[in-house]
Structure 1
Amino acid sequence: MTVLSYIVLGLSLSIPVGPINIEMIKRGIKNGFLNSWLVGLGGMSADVVLMFLIYFGVSTYLTTPIAQLIMWIFGFLILVYLGYESIRDAFKEVKISNEVQKATNSKSYLSGFLIAISNPLNIIFWIGIYGSVLTTTLNSIGTGQALLYSSAIFIGIAVWDLTVATLSNLGRKISNQGFLKWLSVIAGLVLIGFGISFGYKAVKSLYILMG
C-alpha cells in the first residue's frame, strides 16, 4: 500500500456516522470550530493509543472474553453518561456568540478521547482493520517504515475531522435556541442508543462467560 492509500483509508474510516461525528457536530454548532475540532483531536489521540497497542502486540489481550466484557461495560457507562449530559444541557439557555469558549476546550477534547477509547466497536475495528493492514505492510517493508506509512491513516482522519468542524461552525449562523435544544436532545438520544447497544452486548458476553 502507498502513503496515499493509507490517507484514503483513514478518510473512509471516519466518514460513517458514529458517536464521535455526532459529538463533533453538536459541539461545533453550539461552541464553534475549535470545540468541534478538539473532539476529533481527542478521538484521534485515542486512535493513536490503540494503534501503538496493536503495533506492540497488545491486541491479543484485548480480544479475550473478559477484556471485551470490560470494554462493553465501560462503553455503556461513558456513552450513556455523555448522552444524559447532552439532554440535560439542552434545557439550559445557550448563547451563540463568536467568542471562544476556553472553558469548554478541555472538556471537548476529553469527550472525544473517552468516546473513542471506550467504544468497543472502535477497538475491535482497529484490531481488525489496522491489524491486517500492519501485517500486509510488514511483509513488504521494514518495521520502522510500516509504522511511518500506517501513521498516514491519521492524515485522512484529520481531513474529515476538519471538514466536519468547519461545516458545524458554519451551521452556527443558521442556528437558533430551539434548533440547539433539539440538536442536543437528538445527539443525546443517539449517544444513549449506542450506549444501550453496548450494554446489551455486555449482558450477552456476561451470559456466555457464566454459561
Structure 2
Amino acid sequence: MLSLFLTNVLLGLSIALPVGTVTIEMTKQGLKNGFWHGWLVGVGGMTVDFLLMVALFLGLAPILAAPTIQTGMWLLGAIFLLYIAYDSIKNADKQITINGEKTTKKLLSSYKNGLLVAVSPSNLVFWISVFGTFLSSSFSEGSELSFIVAGLGILAGIQVHDIGLMSIVAGTRKVVNETFVKWVSIGAGIILSYFSILFFVQFFKRIF
C-alpha cells in the first residue's frame, strides 16, 4: 500500500505542476496577501477534487459523464472564471499588503475563490477517466482500500505542489512592490478571462 500511495503522490504532483486557473489564482492571492491566502485557494480547488473522488466512489461516474452535466459544468466554469477575472482586474490595486503588514482580506474569501475557479470540466474529465477506470478495476478485485489510498496519495501530491509554490511566492513577496503586484493581478485577470472565453466556446459548441 505504501508503494501505491507514493506512486500516486508523484501522480498528484505531476497533475498540479502545469499552470492552470487554480495555480494562477493561488499565485495572485499569495503575492497580494501572503502564504495562507494563496494556500487556501489551493485547498478550495482540492475540495472540488475530493468531492468528485467521493462521487466516483459512490458510483456517480455515469451521471458525471453525462453530456448534459458536462455542458452545465462548462457554463458554470465560464461564469465563475469571468467573475474571478473581473474581480481580479477591478481590485488590482486594492487588498495589497506589504510583507509584514496585516491583511484585511478574509481567509474564507480566498478559499471560496479556489472553489469557484476549480469548477471545471477538465477536473471532471480527469477524475472520471483516471479514477473511473481505477475504481472499476479495484472493485472488481474487491479492494476499495486501494482506491482510497490512491486518492489520498494524489491529494497529498497536490498539497506538496501547493505548499512548495506558496513558499516560493511568499519569499518573492519580500522583494516586490505594490505596482508589481497590481500588474500581476491584472495579468491574472486577463488570463482567467481567456480561460472563461474558452469555456464559453465549449459550452456553445455543445449547445449548437
TM-score for the superposition, normalised by structure 1 = 0.91
Residue 114 of structure 1 is matched in structure 2 by 116
Query: Is contact 2:33–2:105 with CA below 8 Å preserved after alignment?
Result: no
Query: Is contact 2:95–2:104 with CA below 8 Å preserved after alignment?
Result: no
User: Which deviations, in whole Å up to 9, do the C-alpha atoms of 1:1-23 show, x marking residues without a partner?
Assistant: 72111111111111010001001
Tell me, in whole angstroms, the C-alpha distance in 1 between the residues paired with 2:95 and 2:146: 51
Query: Is contact 1:3–1:149 with CA below 8 Å preserved after alignment?
Result: yes
Matched residue SS, 1:90: coil
Tell me, in whole angstroms, the C-alpha distance in 1 between the residues paired with 2:94 and 2:154: 38
Work out which of the residue numbers 58, 62, 73 in structure 2 matches 1:56: 58
Matched residue SS, 2:27: helix
User: Which deviations, in whole Å up to 9, do the C-alpha atoms of 1:125-153 show, x marking residues without a partner?
Assistant: 11112222333444556113422343211
Work out which of the residue numbers 84, 87, 91 in structure 2 matches 1:85: 87
The AA in structure 1 aligned to 2:23 is: N
Gap runs ≥5 in structure 1: none
Matched residue SS, 1:152: helix
C-alpha spacing 1:95/1:7, structure 2 compared with 1 (3 Å): closer
Gap runs ≥5 in structure 2: none
Residue 12 of structure 1 is matched in structure 2 by 14
Superposition CA RMSD, Å: 1.7
User: Which deviations, in whole Å up to 9, do the C-alpha atoms of 1:39-62 show, x marking residues without a partner?
Assistant: 111111111101001111212112
C-alpha spacing 1:100/1:130, structure 2 compared with 1 (3 Å): farther
TM-score for the superposition, normalised by structure 2 = 0.92
Tell me, in whole angstroms, the C-alpha distance in 1 between the residues paired with 2:146 and 2:97: 48
Q: Write the mapping of 1:37-186 to structure 2, written as runs, cut at 5 A.
A: 37-92=39-94, 94-101=96-103, 103-116=105-118, 118-140=119-141, 142-186=143-187
Tell me, in whole angstroms, the C-alpha distance in 2 between the residues paired with 1:148 and 1:65: 30
Query: Is contact 1:73–1:199 with CA below 8 Å preserved after alignment?
Result: yes
Sequence identity (%): 36
Tell me, in whole angstroms, the C-alpha distance in 2 between the residues paired with 1:102 and 1:15: 30
Matched residue SS, 1:151: helix
Q: Bigger CA drift: 136-145 or 191-200?
A: 136-145
Matched residue SS, 1:41: helix
Query: Is contact 1:73–1:198 with CA below 8 Å preserved after alignment?
Result: yes
Q: What is the number of residues matched between the two proteins?
A: 206
Residue 189 of structure 1 is matched in structure 2 by 190
Matched residue SS, 1:107: helix
